[in-house]
Amino acid sequence: MFLRNLLLMVAAIFTGAIAYAADVQELEQEVVIGKRERDIPRLGYTTPEVFDPFTDQLWQGGYRDYPPSEIPEGLKYATAMARTAKLGRIAVCADAFYWPFSHTMKTSEPPGIDIEIVRRIAKRHDWRIEMMWAPNTISRGGVGAAFQKGIDRGYCDVFLGLVITGDDHHMEGHQMVFTKPYIGMGFVLVTQGKAKGLKTLEEVVNAKVKIGVPAFSPMYDYVKEKGIPYESYALNFRLVDAFVKGEVDAAMVWEPGLPVAKKEKGYDIKPVPGYVPVAGQRWNGAWGVKGRETEFIEFLDAELVKMIGNGELKQIVESYGMNYYPPFAN
């Protein structure tokens, strides 16, 4: 749990700024769960012209999300697979601010890697998608709170954008299991100046080039343990800024942060071609489903495996400026 939150903090340094980047950001329509429309004035709540989750009182209080559509009595206790097929819709939970994997803003098309994957699955089966945007999984209770407010209440059948860390006890507490992993991700090497042309972390060390790392990250611990000369920066975005300014000629950055840097600041930074994150500094991404939903899990696994095999996943991920790594074995 701690590692996931740490990775998300590293990855999402730019993400939180997205809501403030433009003069006006129009988000997808939201509704209030658990509060009747006529009760809202009693809360002292005025519906804003533009919804901003960072300041909206109902969202901060955990009320503002997508509810499920009306489910017929005969399907309320059906399996997720049967309900999805019968209603012709797939109910999905995702973090509202987890770029480049998911995002709620209408103005932020493309919508994110995970959302595009779901769209393709839904299109193949002629289903509509019903989204429930979970509270930010980096704060406000983390992943466990997001599970509790979404999938535990039956508002969705699959939770997107999870990282398999090996310390995933929070999954068991909610009777959740992972789908098959569909993507590998990790810290990647970027170089310039004196380090240009170097292909591996070992080559950077041998060339006596000091390497930049985000402080208090898994990579920070790694270089300390290995005795590698480093310069640490408070957050991933500080490291990227330092690299762009030429303060360091080599850096180990959390790769999902690079598309965010491009989106927010126009930085077009590419990892060293062919670089593969080293063991201990790479993880796999997967989705979460209730463990009892075996048929639905098998369905999603088959869809993800198919998209890995036919190159769809690679195409989607690379369109966001990331290298596509098939799931790592370790």
Is residue 277 assigned to a domain? no
Structure tokens at 180: 């098959």
Residue 70 shares a structural domain with residue 155: yes
Residue 47: what pLDDT?
59
Residue 252 shares a structural domain with residue 304: no
Question: In terms of Cα–Cα distance, which of 325, 319, 289, 275 is closest to 110?
Answer: 319
Residue 207: what pLDDT?
95
The answer to whether 27 and 106 are in contact (CB under 8 A) is yes
Residue 35 shares a structural domain with residue 99: yes
Task: Mark which of 265, 294, 309 sits at the end of a domain.
Answer: 265
Residue 130 shares a structural domain with residue 43: yes
Is residue 47 assigned to a domain? yes
Residue 70 shares a structural domain with residue 11: yes
The answer to whether 57 and 34 are in contact (CB under 8 A) is no
Mean pLDDT of 146-169: 81
Band (pLDDT 50/70/90 cuts) for residue 136 is low
Report residue 290: phi and psi, to 5°.
-60, 135
The answer to whether 284 and 183 are in contact (CB under 8 A) is yes
Q: What is the CATH number for 150?
A: 3.40.190.10
Pick the more confident residue, 317 or 21: 317
Is residue 209 assigned to a domain? yes
- What's the whole-model pTM score? 0.79
Residue 106: what pLDDT?
57
Indicate if the pLDDT at residue 44 is higher than 70. no
Residue 284 is inside which H or E element, if any?
strand 282-290
Residue 139 shares a structural domain with residue 60: yes
Residue 65: what pLDDT?
43
Supply the mean pLDDT for the chain: 79
Mean pLDDT of 260-266: 86
Residue 32 is inside which H or E element, if any?
strand 31-32
What's the domain count of the chain? 2
Report residue 218: phi and psi, to 5°.
-55, -35
Q: pLDDT tens-digit profile of 59-110?
A: 554 444 444 556 777 787 889 999 999 999 998 888 877 889 988 765 556 8
Cα 84 from Cα 286, distance rounded (Å): 20
Mean pLDDT of 261-268: 87
Residue 35 shares a structural domain with residue 96: yes
Band (pLDDT 50/70/90 cuts) for residue 282 is very high
Mean pLDDT of 109-137: 86
Cα 151 from Cα 147, distance rounded (Å): 5
Residue 79: what pLDDT?
92
pLDDT above 90 coverage of the chain, percent:
51
Residue bearing tokens 């300390």: 224
Residue 146 shares a structural domain with residue 113: yes
Residue 128 shares a structural domain with residue 240: no
Is residue 328 assigned to a domain? no
Residue 54 shares a structural domain with residue 200: no
Pick the more confident residue, 4 or 164: 164
- Strand 89-95 with 128-134, pairing: parallel
Q: pLDDT tens-digit profile of 232-243?
A: 998 888 999 999
Is residue 278 assigned to a domain? no
Cα 229 from Cα 168, distance rounded (Å): 32
Residue 298 domain boundaries: 2-183+283-318
Strands annotated E in 143-273: 158-164, 176-178, 183-191, 211-214, 230-233, 250-254
Residue 100: what pLDDT?
92
Band (pLDDT 50/70/90 cuts) for residue 202 is very high
Q: Which DSSP string corresponds to 161-189? A: EEEE-S--HHHHHTTEEE----EEEEEEE
pLDDT-wise least confident of 9-13, 48-52, 87-91, 96-100: 9-13
Is residue 38 assigned to a domain? yes
Residue 252 shares a structural domain with residue 312: no
Is residue 114 assigned to a domain? yes
Residue 120 shares a structural domain with residue 256: no
Cα 251 from Cα 243, distance rounded (Å): 7
pLDDT above 70 coverage of the chain, percent:
73
Is residue 274 assigned to a domain? no
Structure tokens at 260: 């965010």
The answer to whether 22 and 107 are in contact (CB under 8 A) is yes
